[in-house]
Amino acid sequence: MKNLILIIVFFLALNTSFAQHASREAKIQYFVEQSVQEFKLDKKQAKKLKEARVEYIAVLSEAQQKFKNGSISKDQQLEINKNASKDFKSFMGQLTGYTPGELDEALAKIRAGLTMI
């Protein structure tokens, strides 16, 4: 009976992990697609954006995981997130040519749609 319960728990955890990964990928894809439309990006720019977005999300996820397992403090996690966001926003500015204000406005529209995914 214990083995059955352990197997069920294992498969539930595995399923949750795959679901989170799929959700993360869907959000990245949505962000890239909306950015292509909003900023009129070409295919090369879209590819660079996707790579940067994947890296950005990975940094945020890693910081969250480190905080959860106790290897960093909440303040350290927030600092990592702040630096990652700053770097990503700088990349977006260079990619699009938008000013910080224009970029904030456009990204707010894109982020609003992310909550529905």
CA 21/CA 17 separation, integer angstroms? 6
Q: Would you state the pLDDT for residue 91?
A: 98
Helix axes 74-96, 43-68, angle to 10 degrees: 180
Q: Would you state the pLDDT for residue 116?
A: 83
Task: Name the amino acid, one letter, at 76.
Answer: Q
Q: Would you state the pLDDT for residue 1?
A: 61
Residue 78: count of CB within 10 angstroms of its CB: 13
- Per-residue pLDDT tens for 77-117? 999 999 999 999 999 999 999 999 999 999 999 999 888 87
Predicted TM-score (pTM) of this structure: 0.79
Range of the domain at 49: 2-114
How many distinct structural domains can be found in the chain? 1
Q: What is the mean pLDDT of residues 11-16?
A: 47
Residues in the chain: 117
DSSP character at residue 80:
H
Helix (H, G, I), strand (E, B) or coil at 94: helix
